[in-house]
Chains A and B, each alone.
Chain A
């Protein structure tokens, strides 16, 4: 880690905390995902199952890309990281749009299931992760165990 005050030259090497956060969220998403998919299956039958699984995959890939982008660019410079995050936001929204646009007329798509899963899984996983991050920040010496 270089210790300069210029954002253009400051860079961070070593562990990337956002990758750990993202990995945790993906792991939890894979654990609770089947419950959400089953719920959509009950309400919207097989199209609900397929749409919910597709939406969950989109959300998890979105988290992974966001974290990966920050981790890679923070090793180069903070200025690049800022640019990558802002353009990454646009690119990720465009990718999400394209991913949904390509399948919008497919027979297995249920739009309400797709939309509901995107919102619920995104916000749910974030809120779940926030519990651990808040505890880590409030009590830095006490790392939360997996059982809590």
Chain B
């Protein structure tokens, strides 16, 4: 009961609640936006390493496309980051 009364005492006002909700939403947006590219980059790099180990003579081509693939995938995380900057930071 004491804990509940303490929570009630620090209840947020309307504006503060809005800000808190925006910060929580932005945090989720950034976090979730970073998961997909993390999986994507892992997949790209894993397959590239496999390809380079199997066929070392094609390593130059594989590394170039891998680097671009990583950068394109990372763009998704950057979009999430920008949303985070704009609404929650």
17 cross-chain CB contacts under 8 A = A1-B56, A4-B53, A12-B52, A18-B64, A66-B74, A78-B49, A78-B52, A78-B53, A82-B46, A85-B41, A86-B38, A100-B81, A115-B85, A115-B86, A122-B75, A126-B72, A126-B75
Q: Are B41 and A12 in contact (CB under 8 A)?
A: no
Closest-CB distance, A2 to chain B (whole angstroms): 8
Q: Are B63 and A119 in contact (CB under 8 A)?
A: no
Q: Decide if B50 is an interface residue (CB 8 Å cutoff).
A: yes
Which A residues are in CB contact (< 8 Å) with B37? 89
**A7-B68 in contact given A93-B34, A111-B85 (Cβ < 8 Å):** no
Cα of A78 to Cα of B50 in the assembled complex, Å: 9
Within 8 A of A (CB), among B1-45: 34, 37-38, 41-42, 45
Q: Are A5 and B75 in contact (CB under 8 A)?
A: no
Cα of A92 to Cα of B38 in the assembled complex, Å: 12
Q: Are B56 and A126 in contact (CB under 8 A)?
A: no
Cα of A128 to Cα of B37 in the assembled complex, Å: 21
Which A residues are in CB contact (< 8 Å) with B56? 1-3, 10, 12
Cα of A79 to Cα of B63 in the assembled complex, Å: 14
- In the complex formed, the residue of B with least CB distance to A96 is B81
Cα of A137 to Cα of B64 in the assembled complex, Å: 10
Q: Decide if A135 is an interface residue (CB 8 Å cutoff).
A: no
Contact with B along A94-126 (1 / 0, CB 8 A): 001100110010000001101110110011001
Which B residues are in CB contact (< 8 Å) with A130? 68
Q: Decide if A6 is an interface residue (CB 8 Å cutoff).
A: yes
Give which listed residue, A1, A10, A63, A111, contacts B86 with CB less than 8 A. Answer: A111
Give which listed residue, A2, A119, A129, A133, contacts B75 with CB less than 8 A. Answer: A119
